[in-house]
Structure 1
Amino acid sequence: GGFKNVLVVGADAVSRFVDWTDRGSCILFGDAAGAVLVQACDIGEDGLFGFDLHSDGDGKRHLISTFKENEADDASSENPSTTSFPPKCSSYSYLQMNGREIFKFAVRVVPQSIEAALEKAGLAGSNNFDWLLLHQANQRIIDGVATRLEVPSERVISNVANYGNTSAASIPLALDEAVRGGKVQPGHVIAAAGFGAGLTWASAIFRWG
């Protein structure tokens, strides 16, 4: 209880780490930033009902970007990614992703995680929340998780078709659009889940506003 207001920021410039000659992967990602202000509630008005968090290093090979030394001719005070496009060099190798394995991983563990968070919140069942908000990895994963949770499409927040996979920014970006668009209203309960490299995944059940 030491902090009353916390600004949570998610931002990624994934374009710096994709192989622009690989049309099978580079078109999937976007650069974005998002932020949410989390504010403490009075006693008895808790807005965070339950959460669930996991990691499994055995799957790290399915989504990875390994560290490498910069080339000598790129070692300067000026970031090479801002002077040429596509970027010539960065501190990490190109992002490598096994899409099939990531899909199987996500549609298996994310529903389980959300159900566990709902159970901890005392809200078991897909009818006890208003919106499903997932990391916007791709539409197939979003649809797959929603199907397993038996959540109809009209209760699923999705904007991946507009921006692609924006990594850490995808959940705050989608939430902001849903609020601005009038979908998410104060008092609505949201089941949110993120997943990605590591492999890691987590869920939270919270009330908006």
Structure 2
Amino acid sequence: MRYGMVILSAGFSGLLSFCFLAVSVGTDYWYIIDVNKPNYTDSEELSSYSGLWRINEGSQKSSVIPTFTANMSSLSEMERHLLELHKAVVIILPLGLVLLVFGWIFGLASSLASSPKLLTGTAFYFLFCSLFTLTGVSIYIQYSNKAMEEFQRIVAPEELAYVNVSFGWSFAMAWISFGLELAAGLLLLLAAKVTQMKGRYDCGVAVTL
């Protein structure tokens, strides 16, 4: 297996993982609430979709989620818990973006050096980044489930029959980023193995000569 091809694949995976996560964090289709009331012409105005930073209701209304500016004393215990979960997500995922930038730099340096130790270290760094992304996405799932439980508590069951909730493509892109981070880490481990085997082969040839 060629070292160059493995390194290029790892670098491409790392770059794509950053791009997917950046688009995911910056867009508003993490969670979609679709209301479809029969004989109600403005059902679309009741629907909404949200991201990590904004909630978009209807066709034009948009509001910023007050993650860090909300008055905690005026909130219920459940609302405070939801806000803390959301705060964790909007800290972890953007921080994961920063970590990926450093990971790509480390990967470039270790690939040029062709050092098995540096490649292995960078591989584990990318695997750590993937755990970071996984943690953020998992907390968002927990946040969404808790928010839905609260929604079901305050909305009449007959009204819930017309409500359909789902995760959107922004959420899916975060999962894809997680997979690409894993792929980058595993490919760098493979590159380290290839470099190590090549070093042993070169040493063996030198001894023979």
TM-score using structure 1 length: 0.27
Q: Which has the higher contact order (CA 8 A, sep 6+)?
A: 2
Higher helix share: 2
